[in-house]
Structure 1
């Protein structure tokens, strides 16, 4: 998929989301609510989101350094942000693209970079869980999702840190499926496990989770800034839970960028009386559209600029041919 097609997919999804939101909340009421909203708050929210990206870029470069892939701060930032362009494309292309760019520019192993990406996503989820924990005990909504994701994270971590579990499973599979192509796949899995074990050491995991939690907390603050601009009641706790759980739900839904699932959960929580936001449908939908503008679509736009910087203004470069 080219960057131009990624932008087209993003534009089509944005139109669908806005159309659905308008039908749910009434376009007229949305327009009135938006006219009363201070656009300066969007600038503040986007600034906080930039802080999120900065922290995640630090983690991205830290993990690459742990894997002996040396990149400059500028290159790490451009590669990371370029991946955001593909956030809303099918198949988690944003994560794949980062690996392909590094393979082309630095000769990095695709398996090694992919393992780094898995470690990033894992620490993102744990970081979001920590952010959600700041207010989850005050509100019962989505506790089942919270504990379910906690359990999955525990199982994943146990499978990674156990020194023999994955190698034993790979060896067992190789004995029963000796085909050449599958053997190469199993070898890749074994290599990925070695890399993940390194990135899930106490030190590496602690650094990754700390940076992730701080990064997602900044976006939760941005959400509260936007809510205050719409006259929403309540304190920081409900906003943290709403943002973190909606983002987690979008992640586990496996939809591109969580589009549709994240918005739906966020709107439902914003109009839930127990959370005390006191927003009507128009206010809840506008708050959701604004935070997604700042955290998702803003990133897609930055990704396009980073892609142009990396590939000298060519949006037509095929993302799946970067290795050629």
Structure 2
């Protein structure tokens, strides 16, 4: 019996929600957002921004493919690209629905859930490290971001501790398996399998490769803001500008708002304004950056979800 992998209405609802939010933001901040500022951006600039975004997506997927391969799953590179990117369709949805969609897609071709989940944890683990390093330039000057850094460092420490000390992890999981609180036995069995897989992903060679690819991906995305700042004649050190987007994304993640919608933009505006950039220009840059990352990610994700569904339909899955 075929399973319906995704609910198409969820894409529409998510896209409408984000659209209405951004329209509302523009209306509320109409004093800080001037459409005439967009005249500074030409078609060549748009192509550069889109290419930077696509490079980031491809590098992220290449790293994902290596993580999956390291976990013993060597799937089709081409199809896997669409399965992976389809998760971005739910970027602004509550929870980790995007990751869940990847679990569903990969399970349809025989990849176990624990492999996909552990790959996701490894991916996010290296993302957190890279983003924290890139944002560290701003942590010295913005005391409010130090709390964000502490939270992220705590999360990284927990993952490293549980992944490197499987005896401790096994003891903790065994306790909850035996107690079976709220029928969570299967959940903690899965947790143990996941951390076993994460343990393999923290080998020295893999660590360096994942760090390099993660740095390339995040630098590509961060450079979008640097490039836009150059277009709007902002005279700020390039290294500082490279740190703005990672710092904003960290704040958005810690806010627990789906997709960091609103929180990420606010941090970008606050940081740029702190450097003397007018609210008008800062707000314009923040919205364009999010249009070229969040919105574009959702749009590309929806297209890849449709293509992925066609692949699975072709295989009678």
Q: What's the TM-score once normalised by structure 1's chain length?
A: 0.87
CA contact (8 A) 1:21 1:285 kept: no
Rounded Cα–Cα distance in structure 1 between residues aligned with 2:151 and 2:190: 29
Name the structure 2 match of 1:101.
105
CA contact (8 A) 1:115 1:196 kept: yes
Distance 1:294 1:189, change over 3 A: same
Distance 1:141 1:229, change over 3 A: farther
> How many residues matched?
309
Rounded Cα–Cα distance in structure 2 between residues aligned with 1:155 and 1:313: 38
Name the structure 1 match of 2:61.
57
CA contact (8 A) 1:135 1:237 kept: no
CA contact (8 A) 2:257 2:263 kept: yes
Name the structure 2 match of 1:291.
289
Rounded Cα–Cα distance in structure 2 between residues aligned with 1:23 and 1:313: 43
Distance 1:69 1:135, change over 3 A: same
CA contact (8 A) 2:87 2:98 kept: yes
SS in 1 for 2:310: coil
Rounded Cα–Cα distance in structure 1 between residues aligned with 2:89 and 2:111: 21
Rounded Cα–Cα distance in structure 1 between residues aligned with 2:142 and 2:31: 29
Name the structure 1 match of 2:251.
249
CA contact (8 A) 2:148 2:254 kept: no
Q: Does 1:191 align with 2:193?
A: yes
Name the structure 2 match of 1:320.
none
Deviations 1:112-161 (A, max 9, x none): 21111111111111111122235545665623322442233123212221
- Aligned match for 1:155, one of 137, 154, 158: 158
Q: Shift in Å at residue 18 of structure 1?
A: 3.2
Rounded Cα–Cα distance in structure 1 between residues aligned with 2:90 and 2:179: 38
Pairwise CA RMSD: 2.4
SS in 2 for 1:164: helix
Deviations 1:3-52 (A, max 9, x none): 3422331232232123224312427x521212333343222111111111
Rounded Cα–Cα distance in structure 2 between residues aligned with 1:268 and 1:18: 20
Q: Does 1:232 align with 2:234?
A: yes
Which moved further from structure 2: 8-17 or 72-81?
A: 8-17
Name the structure 2 match of 1:129.
132
Which moved further from structure 2: 90-99 or 141-150?
A: 141-150
Name the structure 1 match of 2:18.
13
Rounded Cα–Cα distance in structure 1 between residues aligned with 2:77 and 2:191: 30
- Aligned match for 2:148, one of 132, 139, 145: 145
SS in 2 for 1:70: coil
Unaligned 5+ segments in structure 1 are: 318-323
Unaligned 5+ segments in structure 2 are: 1-5
Rounded Cα–Cα distance in structure 2 between residues aligned with 1:254 and 1:220: 21
Q: Shift in Å at residue 222 of structure 1?
A: 1.3
SS in 1 for 2:111: coil
Poorly superposed stretches of 4+, deviation over 6 Å:
none
Rounded Cα–Cα distance in structure 2 between residues aligned with 1:207 and 1:99: 24
